[in-house]
Structure 1
Amino acid sequence: MPKARRSNDWGFPRWRGYGSSREATSVRICDRHGCEEKGDCPAPKSPNSPDRWYFCQRHAAEYNKGWDYFEGLDKEQAAERAKAERQESAGYAEASHYGWSGSGDGSRSADEMRALDVLELEADAEFPAIKKAWREKAKTVHPDVKPGDAEAAAEFQKLQLAYEVLKAAEERREWRG
Protein backbone atom coordinates (compact mmCIF):
# COMPACT_ATOMS: atom_id res chain seq x y z
CA MET A 1 0.00 0.00 0.00
CA PRO A 2 1.48 3.40 -0.99
CA LYS A 3 2.36 5.85 1.73
CA ALA A 4 -0.12 8.75 2.10
CA ARG A 5 1.35 12.17 1.25
CA ARG A 6 0.79 15.09 3.51
CA SER A 7 -1.05 18.11 2.09
CA ASN A 8 0.80 21.38 1.58
CA ASP A 9 -2.18 23.30 2.99
CA TRP A 10 -1.22 23.00 6.65
CA GLY A 11 0.43 25.39 9.08
CA PHE A 12 1.66 28.90 8.75
CA PRO A 13 2.96 30.14 6.42
CA ARG A 14 0.81 28.36 3.94
CA TRP A 15 3.14 26.29 1.77
CA ARG A 16 1.15 26.62 -1.41
CA GLY A 17 -0.26 29.82 -2.88
CA TYR A 18 -3.85 30.75 -2.12
CA GLY A 19 -4.86 30.66 -5.77
CA SER A 20 -3.33 27.27 -6.46
CA SER A 21 -5.92 24.94 -4.93
CA ARG A 22 -6.61 21.73 -6.74
CA GLU A 23 -10.38 22.02 -6.68
CA ALA A 24 -12.24 23.21 -9.74
CA THR A 25 -13.35 26.82 -9.48
CA SER A 26 -16.73 27.87 -10.74
CA VAL A 27 -16.62 30.62 -13.34
CA ARG A 28 -19.77 32.58 -13.95
CA ILE A 29 -20.52 33.21 -17.63
CA CYS A 30 -21.96 36.52 -18.84
CA ASP A 31 -25.77 36.52 -18.68
CA ARG A 32 -26.03 38.20 -22.10
CA HIS A 33 -27.39 35.66 -24.61
CA GLY A 34 -24.63 34.20 -26.77
CA CYS A 35 -21.72 35.70 -24.79
CA GLU A 36 -19.10 33.25 -23.50
CA GLU A 37 -17.01 35.82 -21.54
CA LYS A 38 -16.52 35.71 -17.76
CA GLY A 39 -19.47 37.50 -16.07
CA ASP A 40 -17.94 39.31 -13.11
CA CYS A 41 -19.85 42.63 -13.18
CA PRO A 42 -23.13 42.47 -11.20
CA ALA A 43 -26.06 44.62 -12.30
CA PRO A 44 -29.53 44.79 -10.70
CA LYS A 45 -32.34 43.06 -12.55
CA SER A 46 -34.80 45.70 -11.33
CA PRO A 47 -34.74 48.66 -8.92
CA ASN A 48 -34.59 47.66 -5.23
CA SER A 49 -34.22 44.00 -6.10
CA PRO A 50 -31.55 41.71 -4.64
CA ASP A 51 -31.49 39.71 -7.90
CA ARG A 52 -28.54 40.46 -10.18
CA TRP A 53 -27.45 39.93 -13.74
CA TYR A 54 -23.75 39.16 -14.16
CA PHE A 55 -22.22 40.66 -17.28
CA CYS A 56 -18.75 40.79 -18.82
CA GLN A 57 -17.02 44.19 -18.93
CA ARG A 58 -18.28 44.99 -22.44
CA HIS A 59 -21.93 44.16 -21.75
CA ALA A 60 -21.87 45.88 -18.33
CA ALA A 61 -20.75 49.06 -20.08
CA GLU A 62 -23.59 48.66 -22.58
CA TYR A 63 -26.08 48.05 -19.74
CA ASN A 64 -24.98 51.20 -17.86
CA LYS A 65 -24.64 53.43 -20.94
CA GLY A 66 -27.98 55.19 -20.55
CA TRP A 67 -28.06 55.27 -16.75
CA ASP A 68 -29.15 58.62 -15.29
CA TYR A 69 -28.74 59.20 -11.56
CA PHE A 70 -31.46 61.87 -11.51
CA GLU A 71 -33.99 59.95 -13.62
CA GLY A 72 -37.54 60.33 -12.37
CA LEU A 73 -36.80 63.48 -10.35
CA ASP A 74 -38.03 66.92 -11.24
CA LYS A 75 -35.60 69.87 -11.34
CA GLU A 76 -36.11 70.88 -7.71
CA GLN A 77 -35.67 67.33 -6.39
CA ALA A 78 -32.55 66.81 -8.52
CA ALA A 79 -31.06 70.09 -7.26
CA GLU A 80 -31.90 69.14 -3.67
CA ARG A 81 -30.24 65.72 -4.02
CA ALA A 82 -27.14 67.25 -5.64
CA LYS A 83 -26.92 69.83 -2.83
CA ALA A 84 -27.25 67.13 -0.15
CA GLU A 85 -24.45 65.10 -1.75
CA ARG A 86 -22.20 68.16 -1.98
CA GLN A 87 -22.79 68.76 1.74
CA GLU A 88 -21.92 65.15 2.53
CA SER A 89 -18.65 65.43 0.63
CA ALA A 90 -17.77 68.92 1.89
CA GLY A 91 -14.97 67.52 4.04
CA TYR A 92 -13.26 66.13 0.95
CA ALA A 93 -13.57 69.45 -0.88
CA GLU A 94 -12.30 71.33 2.16
CA ALA A 95 -9.18 69.16 2.31
CA SER A 96 -8.51 69.23 -1.43
CA HIS A 97 -5.69 71.74 -1.00
CA TYR A 98 -3.61 69.00 0.60
CA GLY A 99 -3.43 67.05 -2.65
CA TRP A 100 -1.69 67.84 -5.89
CA SER A 101 -3.71 70.40 -7.73
CA GLY A 102 -2.39 70.19 -11.24
CA SER A 103 0.01 68.59 -13.61
CA GLY A 104 3.66 68.22 -12.82
CA ASP A 105 5.57 66.56 -10.03
CA GLY A 106 5.19 69.35 -7.48
CA SER A 107 8.64 70.81 -8.12
CA ARG A 108 7.24 73.83 -10.01
CA SER A 109 5.04 76.60 -8.67
CA ALA A 110 1.67 77.54 -10.16
CA ASP A 111 3.28 80.61 -11.79
CA GLU A 112 5.89 78.42 -13.43
CA MET A 113 3.19 76.04 -14.69
CA ARG A 114 1.26 78.97 -16.20
CA ALA A 115 4.46 80.24 -17.81
CA LEU A 116 5.07 76.80 -19.32
CA ASP A 117 1.52 76.85 -20.69
CA VAL A 118 2.20 80.23 -22.34
CA LEU A 119 5.28 78.74 -24.00
CA GLU A 120 3.26 75.57 -24.84
CA LEU A 121 5.71 73.26 -23.07
CA GLU A 122 5.29 70.18 -20.90
CA ALA A 123 5.56 70.38 -17.10
CA ASP A 124 8.93 68.60 -17.06
CA ALA A 125 10.65 70.80 -19.69
CA GLU A 126 14.33 71.53 -19.05
CA PHE A 127 15.64 75.10 -19.16
CA PRO A 128 17.45 74.79 -22.55
CA ALA A 129 14.13 73.71 -24.12
CA ILE A 130 12.40 76.63 -22.39
CA LYS A 131 14.95 79.07 -23.77
CA LYS A 132 14.65 77.62 -27.28
CA ALA A 133 10.84 77.78 -27.26
CA TRP A 134 10.91 81.36 -25.95
CA ARG A 135 13.32 82.48 -28.68
CA GLU A 136 11.31 80.84 -31.46
CA LYS A 137 8.02 82.37 -30.30
CA ALA A 138 9.52 85.78 -29.47
CA LYS A 139 11.08 86.08 -32.95
CA THR A 140 7.65 85.85 -34.58
CA VAL A 141 6.01 88.63 -32.51
CA HIS A 142 8.97 90.90 -31.68
CA PRO A 143 8.18 94.66 -32.03
CA ASP A 144 11.07 95.02 -34.50
CA VAL A 145 9.55 92.34 -36.73
CA LYS A 146 5.95 93.64 -36.40
CA PRO A 147 6.18 97.38 -35.69
CA GLY A 148 2.91 99.05 -34.71
CA ASP A 149 1.05 95.76 -34.13
CA ALA A 150 -0.55 96.03 -30.67
CA GLU A 151 -1.55 92.35 -30.52
CA ALA A 152 1.99 91.23 -31.36
CA ALA A 153 3.40 93.60 -28.71
CA ALA A 154 1.02 92.20 -26.07
CA GLU A 155 1.94 88.63 -27.05
CA PHE A 156 5.65 89.50 -26.87
CA GLN A 157 5.20 90.95 -23.38
CA LYS A 158 3.36 87.81 -22.28
CA LEU A 159 6.17 85.61 -23.64
CA GLN A 160 8.79 87.84 -22.02
CA LEU A 161 7.10 87.65 -18.63
CA ALA A 162 6.76 83.85 -18.88
CA TYR A 163 10.46 83.54 -19.71
CA GLU A 164 11.46 85.80 -16.82
CA VAL A 165 9.42 83.73 -14.35
CA LEU A 166 11.03 80.50 -15.56
CA LYS A 167 14.53 82.02 -15.67
CA ALA A 168 14.23 83.30 -12.08
CA ALA A 169 13.03 79.88 -10.92
CA GLU A 170 15.96 78.20 -12.69
CA GLU A 171 18.41 80.61 -11.05
CA ARG A 172 16.89 79.83 -7.62
CA ARG A 173 17.30 76.11 -8.25
CA GLU A 174 20.93 76.58 -9.28
CA TRP A 175 21.61 78.77 -6.27
CA ARG A 176 20.16 76.17 -3.87
CA GLY A 177 22.39 73.57 -5.42
Structure 2
Amino acid sequence: MPKPRRSNDWGFPRWRGYESERAAANVKLCDRHGCEEVGDCPAPKAPNSRDRWYFCQRHAAEYNQKWDYFEGLDKAEKEARAKAERSENAGYAEAQHYGWGGSGDGSRTQDEMRALDALGLESDADFPAIKKAWREKAKTVHPDVKPNDAEAAQEFQKLQVAYEVLKAAEERREWKG
Protein backbone atom coordinates (compact mmCIF):
# COMPACT_ATOMS: atom_id res chain seq x y z
CA MET A 1 0.00 0.00 0.00
CA PRO A 2 1.51 3.35 -1.04
CA LYS A 3 2.18 5.91 1.63
CA PRO A 4 -0.30 8.87 1.45
CA ARG A 5 1.29 12.08 0.29
CA ARG A 6 1.09 15.19 2.38
CA SER A 7 -0.73 18.10 0.75
CA ASN A 8 0.80 21.54 0.38
CA ASP A 9 -1.83 23.18 2.59
CA TRP A 10 -0.84 21.36 5.82
CA GLY A 11 -4.46 20.36 6.45
CA PHE A 12 -5.96 23.81 6.04
CA PRO A 13 -8.28 23.62 3.00
CA ARG A 14 -8.83 27.38 2.98
CA TRP A 15 -5.18 27.80 1.97
CA ARG A 16 -5.85 26.07 -1.32
CA GLY A 17 -6.40 28.29 -4.30
CA TYR A 18 -9.34 27.91 -6.63
CA GLU A 19 -8.85 25.11 -9.14
CA SER A 20 -5.62 24.14 -7.42
CA GLU A 21 -6.33 20.43 -7.68
CA ARG A 22 -3.79 18.36 -9.51
CA ALA A 23 -6.29 17.29 -12.15
CA ALA A 24 -6.64 19.48 -15.20
CA ALA A 25 -9.58 21.91 -15.21
CA ASN A 26 -12.02 21.51 -18.10
CA VAL A 27 -12.17 24.70 -20.13
CA LYS A 28 -14.49 25.07 -23.10
CA LEU A 29 -12.95 27.12 -25.88
CA CYS A 30 -14.86 29.52 -28.10
CA ASP A 31 -16.69 27.75 -30.96
CA ARG A 32 -15.63 30.44 -33.44
CA HIS A 33 -13.05 28.99 -35.82
CA GLY A 34 -9.54 30.07 -34.90
CA CYS A 35 -10.43 31.63 -31.52
CA GLU A 36 -8.47 30.36 -28.53
CA GLU A 37 -10.35 32.26 -25.78
CA VAL A 38 -12.64 30.70 -23.16
CA GLY A 39 -16.16 30.11 -24.50
CA ASP A 40 -18.41 30.96 -21.54
CA CYS A 41 -21.32 32.66 -23.35
CA PRO A 42 -23.94 30.19 -24.63
CA ALA A 43 -25.95 31.06 -27.75
CA PRO A 44 -28.67 28.95 -29.41
CA LYS A 45 -27.70 27.19 -32.62
CA ALA A 46 -31.29 27.34 -33.92
CA PRO A 47 -34.69 28.53 -32.65
CA ASN A 48 -36.34 26.07 -30.22
CA SER A 49 -33.19 23.95 -30.06
CA ARG A 50 -31.30 22.81 -26.98
CA ASP A 51 -28.01 22.84 -28.89
CA ARG A 52 -25.78 25.78 -28.05
CA TRP A 53 -22.72 27.49 -29.39
CA TYR A 54 -20.26 28.65 -26.73
CA PHE A 55 -18.56 31.92 -27.63
CA CYS A 56 -16.10 34.22 -25.92
CA GLN A 57 -17.46 37.66 -25.01
CA ARG A 58 -16.23 39.30 -28.20
CA HIS A 59 -17.78 36.71 -30.51
CA ALA A 60 -21.00 36.54 -28.48
CA ALA A 61 -21.41 40.29 -29.00
CA GLU A 62 -20.79 39.82 -32.72
CA TYR A 63 -23.34 36.97 -32.84
CA ASN A 64 -26.04 39.10 -31.14
CA GLN A 65 -25.23 42.35 -32.93
CA LYS A 66 -28.07 42.29 -35.46
CA TRP A 67 -30.61 40.36 -33.38
CA ASP A 68 -34.07 41.92 -33.61
CA TYR A 69 -36.68 41.09 -30.98
CA PHE A 70 -39.51 42.22 -33.29
CA GLU A 71 -38.32 40.39 -36.39
CA GLY A 72 -41.17 38.85 -38.41
CA LEU A 73 -43.92 41.05 -36.96
CA ASP A 74 -45.84 43.65 -38.89
CA LYS A 75 -46.02 47.26 -37.65
CA ALA A 76 -49.25 46.83 -35.62
CA GLU A 77 -47.99 43.69 -33.92
CA LYS A 78 -44.66 45.39 -33.11
CA GLU A 79 -46.47 48.32 -31.48
CA ALA A 80 -48.79 46.00 -29.52
CA ARG A 81 -45.87 43.90 -28.27
CA ALA A 82 -43.84 47.01 -27.36
CA LYS A 83 -46.83 48.43 -25.44
CA ALA A 84 -47.28 45.14 -23.57
CA GLU A 85 -43.57 45.10 -22.68
CA ARG A 86 -43.74 48.66 -21.35
CA SER A 87 -46.84 47.91 -19.24
CA GLU A 88 -45.32 44.72 -17.82
CA ASN A 89 -42.11 46.55 -16.93
CA ALA A 90 -43.85 49.58 -15.42
CA GLY A 91 -43.13 48.24 -11.94
CA TYR A 92 -39.45 48.95 -12.47
CA ALA A 93 -40.23 52.63 -12.95
CA GLU A 94 -41.62 52.72 -9.40
CA ALA A 95 -38.23 51.70 -8.03
CA GLN A 96 -36.42 54.75 -9.41
CA HIS A 97 -36.61 56.47 -6.02
CA TYR A 98 -33.94 54.07 -4.77
CA GLY A 99 -31.36 55.46 -7.18
CA TRP A 100 -29.37 58.66 -6.98
CA GLY A 101 -31.90 61.42 -7.45
CA GLY A 102 -30.03 64.57 -6.57
CA SER A 103 -27.63 66.81 -8.34
CA GLY A 104 -23.90 66.29 -8.29
CA ASP A 105 -21.69 63.40 -9.20
CA GLY A 106 -23.16 60.83 -6.80
CA SER A 107 -20.40 61.17 -4.22
CA ARG A 108 -22.74 62.54 -1.54
CA THR A 109 -25.54 60.72 0.23
CA GLN A 110 -29.09 61.97 0.43
CA ASP A 111 -28.55 63.03 4.07
CA GLU A 112 -25.53 65.08 3.03
CA MET A 113 -27.55 66.74 0.27
CA ARG A 114 -30.29 67.68 2.76
CA ALA A 115 -27.64 69.06 5.13
CA LEU A 116 -26.18 71.17 2.32
CA ASP A 117 -29.68 72.48 1.53
CA ALA A 118 -30.14 73.41 5.19
CA LEU A 119 -26.92 75.42 5.03
CA GLY A 120 -27.90 76.94 1.67
CA LEU A 121 -24.95 75.49 -0.24
CA GLU A 122 -24.49 73.80 -3.62
CA SER A 123 -23.77 70.08 -3.89
CA ASP A 124 -20.12 70.64 -4.82
CA ALA A 125 -19.23 72.75 -1.76
CA ASP A 126 -15.96 71.87 -0.05
CA PHE A 127 -15.57 71.55 3.71
CA PRO A 128 -14.10 75.03 4.39
CA ALA A 129 -17.14 76.57 2.65
CA ILE A 130 -19.42 74.33 4.72
CA LYS A 131 -17.73 75.42 7.94
CA LYS A 132 -17.94 79.10 6.97
CA ALA A 133 -21.64 78.90 6.07
CA TRP A 134 -22.41 77.01 9.29
CA ARG A 135 -20.65 79.64 11.44
CA GLU A 136 -22.37 82.56 9.70
CA LYS A 137 -25.84 81.04 10.03
CA ALA A 138 -25.28 79.72 13.57
CA LYS A 139 -24.21 83.16 14.81
CA THR A 140 -27.57 84.64 13.81
CA VAL A 141 -29.75 82.05 15.60
CA HIS A 142 -27.53 80.99 18.53
CA PRO A 143 -29.42 80.72 21.86
CA ASP A 144 -27.00 83.22 23.46
CA VAL A 145 -27.85 85.78 20.75
CA LYS A 146 -31.61 85.10 20.82
CA PRO A 147 -32.56 83.82 24.28
CA ASN A 148 -36.13 82.57 24.86
CA ASP A 149 -36.75 82.27 21.10
CA ALA A 150 -38.03 78.75 20.34
CA GLU A 151 -37.86 79.15 16.56
CA ALA A 152 -34.25 80.32 16.69
CA ALA A 153 -33.34 77.40 18.98
CA GLN A 154 -34.97 74.95 16.58
CA GLU A 155 -33.15 76.50 13.60
CA PHE A 156 -29.85 76.34 15.51
CA GLN A 157 -30.41 72.63 16.25
CA LYS A 158 -31.15 72.01 12.57
CA LEU A 159 -27.93 73.77 11.54
CA GLN A 160 -25.97 71.87 14.18
CA VAL A 161 -27.23 68.47 12.95
CA ALA A 162 -26.49 69.45 9.32
CA TYR A 163 -22.93 70.42 10.25
CA GLU A 164 -22.39 67.18 12.19
CA VAL A 165 -23.61 65.08 9.24
CA LEU A 166 -21.26 66.88 6.84
CA LYS A 167 -18.33 66.78 9.29
CA ALA A 168 -18.74 63.01 9.77
CA ALA A 169 -18.87 62.52 5.99
CA GLU A 170 -15.70 64.59 5.56
CA GLU A 171 -13.92 62.52 8.22
CA ARG A 172 -14.98 59.30 6.46
CA ARG A 173 -13.59 60.63 3.17
CA GLU A 174 -10.30 61.57 4.82
CA TRP A 175 -10.10 58.15 6.48
CA LYS A 176 -10.64 56.33 3.16
CA GLY A 177 -8.50 58.72 1.16
TM range (shorter): 0.5 to 0.7
- Aligned letter for 1:46? A
Deviation sequence 1:12-62 (CA, Å, 0-9, x none): 966634532221112111111111121111111111211111111111111
1:35 is matched with which residue? 35
1:66 is matched with which residue? 66
- Cα distance in 2 for partners of 1:125, 1:6 equals 61
Structure 1 runs of 4+ off > 6 angstroms? Answer: 6-9
Report the CA distance shift for 1:36/1:127 in structure 2 as closer, same or farther (over 3 A). same
TM-score by length of 1: 0.55
- Cα distance in 2 for partners of 1:74, 1:58 equals 32
2:50 is matched with which residue? 50
Mean Cα displacement is larger for which, 21-30 or 100-109?
Answer: 100-109
- Aligned letter for 2:93? A
- Cα distance in 1 for partners of 2:15, 2:134 equals 56
The answer for unaligned runs of 5 or more in structure 2 is 138-158, 164-177
- Of residues 133, 136, 157 in structure 2, which corresponds to 1:171? 133
- Cα distance in 1 for partners of 2:101, 2:75 equals 32
- Aligned letter for 1:19? E
| Contact persistence 2:41–2:56 (CA under 8 A) | yes
- Aligned letter for 1:171? A
Mapped pair 1:81 → 2:81: yes
SS at match of 2:53: strand
SS at match of 2:113: coil
- Cα distance in 1 for partners of 2:124, 2:48 equals 50
The answer for unaligned runs of 5 or more in structure 1 is 117-122, 129-166
Size of the aligned set, in residue pairs, is: 128
| Contact persistence 2:32–2:55 (CA under 8 A) | yes
| Contact persistence 2:19–2:25 (CA under 8 A) | no
TM-score by length of 2: 0.55
SS at match of 1:42: strand
Deviation sequence 1:85-139 (CA, Å, 0-9, x none): 2222222211212322354233337xx8xx97xxxxxx645388xxxxxxxxxxx
* Percent of matched pairs sharing the same residue: 67
- Cα distance in 2 for partners of 1:3, 1:127 equals 68
- Cα distance in 2 for partners of 1:172, 1:47 equals 65
TM-align CA RMSD:
3.8
- Of residues 101, 110, 113 in structure 2, which corresponds to 1:108? 113
Report the CA distance shift for 1:2/1:45 in structure 2 as closer, same or farther (over 3 A). closer
